[in-house]
Amino acid sequence: MKSLALSFILASLISMPVWADDSGGDIHYDTPVIGVLFSHSSHVDEAGLDCDSCHDDLFEMEALAVQKQPDFNMLALSEGRYCGACHDGEMAFSSSSRCASCHEGAIGYRRALGLGEQVSSH
Ligand code: HEC
Ligand code: HEC
Ligand code: HEC
């Protein structure tokens, strides 16, 4: 009985949505353009970065907070701010290359958020 209860608890933990994860999960930006993905798992698990390489100097621990900055755009990235602090072609691939690596686009954004794939034409 005890192990049955335990596996039930484990199963409910595993099925928690990614954004309930305290290591940050996936963040899907929609301003100024829809469909930019930031993945904690790519940066922490795969690239092996520490939390403090981004928090709190570059980013707050609050999804989408940075979108309130009017300069959260490609120009700022190319000048070494935000993602561009690392995506400079040395530490990580340049923000002026591989557009589709960061830009999942409107369809990918809608799919990831479970909104279906229909994209409004206006
Ligand atoms: C490569 C950069 C980077 C690294 C490394 C990183 N984060 Fe983040 N984290 C971000 C970004 C970007 C955001 C979103 C900030 C925003 O949108 O304003 C974020 C947001 C968060 C959030 C808020 C999520 C939410 O849904 O509100 C938490 C919690 C968080 N990070 C925890 C961590 C922890 C814990 C680590 C280390 C294990 C870590 N982060 C490592 C970039 C990073
Ligand atoms: C502290 C440094 C740092 C910051 C800040 C950072 N990245 Fe990265 N990122 C890396 C490194 C290192 C890699 C892995 C090496 C590479 O792919 O060039 C990476 C890889 C990626 C990848 C490829 C992931 C994969 O699985 O192939 C994407 C997409 C990406 N970053 C997007 C972003 C976005 C969007 C932001 C800003 C919200 C951001 N990164 C901020 C360091 C950073
Ligand atoms: C390292 C990740 C990354 C790469 C690579 C990247 N972008 Fe972006 N892009 C962003 C982020 C972050 C934003 C701001 C958030 C948003 O608009 O959702 C953004 C916003 C934009 C915007 C709207 C804001 C502006 O500056 O006009 C355009 C247009 C854009 N990107 C085009 C491109 C093109 C074209 C490429 C390839 C040459 C590219 N991006 C490569 C991360 C990236």
pLDDT tens-digit map of 64-94:
999 999 999 999 999 999 999 999 999 999 9
Read off the pLDDT of residues 30-67 as tens digits, 9 standing for 90 and up.
Answer: 999 999 999 999 999 999 999 999 999 999 999 999 99
More confidently predicted of 91 and 11: 91
Please answer whether residues 92 and 86 qualify as being in contact, where contact means their C-beta atoms are separated by less than 8 angstroms. Answer: yes
Alpha carbons 65 and 55: distance in angstroms, whole number? 13
Judged by DSSP in three states, 92 sits in coil
Instruction: Tell me the residue length of the chain.
Output: 122
Residue spans per domain, the chain: 19-112
Tell me what pLDDT residue 122 has: 62
Tell me what pLDDT residue 20 has: 47
Ligand 2 atom 43: residue of nearest CA: 86
- Name residues whose C-beta falls within 8 Å of residue 7's C-beta, 6 or more positions apart in sequence: none
Tell me what pLDDT residue 4 has: 57
- Alpha-carbon Rg for the chain, nearest whole angstrom, is 17
Please answer whether residues 43 and 55 qualify as being in contact, where contact means their C-beta atoms are separated by less than 8 angstroms. Answer: no
- Greatest mean pLDDT among 16-20, 71-75, 104-108 lies in 71-75
Mutate to test the pocket of ligand 2, among 83, 88, 104 (most ligand atoms within 8 A of CB): 83
Mutate to test the pocket of ligand 2, among 26, 87, 99 (most ligand atoms within 8 A of CB): 87
Query: Phi-psi bin for 97: left (phi > 0), alpha (psi -120 to 50), beta?
Result: beta
**What superfamily in CATH does domain 19-112 come from?**
Cytochrome C3 (3.90.10.10)
Would you say the CB of residue 109 lies under 6 angstroms from ligand 3? no
Please answer whether residues 29 and 67 qualify as being in contact, where contact means their C-beta atoms are separated by less than 8 angstroms. Answer: yes
Ligand 2 lining (C-beta closer than 6 Å): 36, 38, 42-43, 46-47, 49, 53-54, 58, 82-83, 85-87, 91-93, 101-102
How crowded is the C-beta side of 36, counted as CA atoms within 13 Å? 17
